[in-house]
């Protein structure tokens, strides 16, 4: 039976009590936000005539998500990460800080503390001899085109099966995760392997939510970056390897035209030797432009829960 009780004084008074409006302690902001959130949900229950069975099934699903630490995986699929990016883009625009390489979502699979190298490194542990060798390189510049020497370029990506080290216990510690400090010309160079696309774990609570929406949990092949340098705005971004069927069908909504990079297959012994490689490889070039800023809070990544990162960092 459909009943409508949300607009009654009893429900409105009840909401005020639940949100702690009549209590002296606590946070005003928390009270106002929780009041708004609960009001929207109570109204939704009324409007959609949500049954107790539906409500408790949702609580069960949220418990499953929490048990598997999956809220961070589901958030990109529900567009929250991209929505926060859209807001930060608008803030940059309003501050006159637009320009440079565009940001896109961090995703939930970063791990703090990867090995640091000067200028050049190898990211894969050599255990995957079937995968394609990738030569990943680029130059960090400011928006006036001046090279940024000593920039910190943190890179992480999946292996050829779409798995990320740390979260995939079959991989060695920090496999495919490195920090490279740019050389005097602002350049970074890395030997690695071409990553595959990624999919949320089949049958996981995140997958169940997406399936209920008739959606998939696939991402195109991509490579994550954090780039920072004193006097410049911290950049969180990713590149997508062009030609992937999911390029414009990314469940996490992270693809941007400017961040699509075409790998260049090279089968030339001299070119391979010049990079210290033995055979054919694919070169992926990603140059990065950083906006300048003196504001210290814009020069580092924002806080969020991250694997192996102290909350105080």
Output the smallest distance, CB 252 to ligand DHB, in A: 4
Q: What does the per-residue mask of binding to Fe ion show for 84-123, with x meaning CB under 5 A? A: -----------------------x----------------
Among all residues, whose Cβ is closest to Fe ion? 107
By beta carbon distance, the residue nearest ligand DHB is: 107
Q: Which is nearer to ligand DHB, 163 or 186 (CB)?
A: 163
What residue 73 binds from Fe ion, ligand DHB, none (CB within 5 to 8 A, per partner kind)?
ligand DHB
Residue 129 CB, shortest distance to ligand DHB, in Å, is: 24
- Write down the least CB distance from residue 58 to ligand DHB, Å: 20
Q: Is the Cβ of residue 76 or residue 186 nearer to Fe ion in the bound state?
A: 76
List residues near ligand DHB by CB under 6 A. 73, 76-77, 107-109, 198, 200, 219, 252
Query: Measured from the CB of residue 199, what is the shortest distance to ligand DHB in angstroms?
Result: 8
263 binds, among ligand DHB, Fe ion, none (CB under 5 to 8 A by kind): none
DSSP states of the chain? -----TTSHHHHHHHHHHTTTT-SSS-HHHHHHHHHHHHHHHHHHHHTT--HHHHHHHHHHHHHHHHTT-HHHHHHHTTHHHHHHHHHHHHHHHHT---SSPP----S--BS---EEESEEE-S-S--TTSPEEEEEEEEEETTS-B-TT-EEEEEE--TTS--BTTBTTSPTTTTEEEEE--TTSEEEEEEEPPPPEEPPTTSHHHHHHHHTT---EE-SEEEEEEE-TTB--EEEEEEETT-TTTT--TT----GGGEE--EEE--HHHHHHTT--S-EEEEE--EEEPB---GGGSSPPP---BT--TT-
Question: Cβ closer to Fe ion: 164 or 188?
Answer: 164
For Fe ion, the closer of residues 137 and 237 by Cβ is: 237
| Minimum gap (Å) between residue 83 Cβ and ligand DHB | 14
């Amino acid at each position: 039976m459909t009943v409508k009780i949300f607009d009654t004084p009893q429900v409105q008074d009840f909401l005020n009590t639940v949100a702690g409006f009549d209590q002296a302690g606590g946070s005003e902001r928390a009270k106002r936000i929780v009041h708004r959130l609960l009001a929207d949900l109570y109204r939704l229950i009324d409007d959609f005539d949500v049954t107790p069975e539906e409500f408790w099934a949702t609580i069960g699903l949220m418990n499953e998500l929490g048990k598997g630490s999956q809220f961070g995986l589901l958030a990109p699929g529900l567009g929250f990460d991209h929505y926060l990016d859209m807001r930060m883009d608008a803030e940059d625009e309003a501050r006159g800080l637009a320009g440079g390489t565009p940001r896109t979502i961090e995703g939930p699979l970063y791990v703090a503390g990867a090995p640091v190298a000067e200028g050049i490194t190898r990211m894969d542990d050599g255990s995957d001899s079937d995968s394609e060798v990738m030569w990943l390189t680029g130059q960090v510049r400011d928006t006036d085109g001046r090279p940024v020497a000593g920039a910190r370029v943190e890179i992480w990506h999946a292996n050829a099966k779409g798995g990320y080290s740390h979260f995939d216990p079959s991989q060695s510690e920090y496999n495919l995760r490195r920090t490279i400090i740019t050389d005097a010309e602002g350049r970074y160079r890395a030997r690695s392997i071409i990553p595959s696309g990624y999919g949320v774990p089949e049958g996981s609570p995140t997958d169940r939510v997406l399936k209920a929406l008739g959606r998939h949990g696939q991402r195109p092949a991509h490579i994550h970056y954090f780039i920072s340098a004193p006097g410049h705005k911290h950049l969180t971004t990713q590149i997508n390897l062009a030609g992937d069927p999911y390029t414009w069908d990314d469940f996490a909504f992270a693809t941007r035209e400017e961040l699509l990079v075409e790998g260049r297959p090279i089968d030339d012994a001299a070119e391979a030797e010049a990079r210290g490689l033995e055979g054919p490889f694919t070169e992926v070039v990603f140059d990065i432009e950083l906006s300048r800023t003196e504001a210290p809070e814009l020069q580092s990544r924002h806080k969020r829960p991250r694997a192996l990162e102290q909350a105080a960092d």
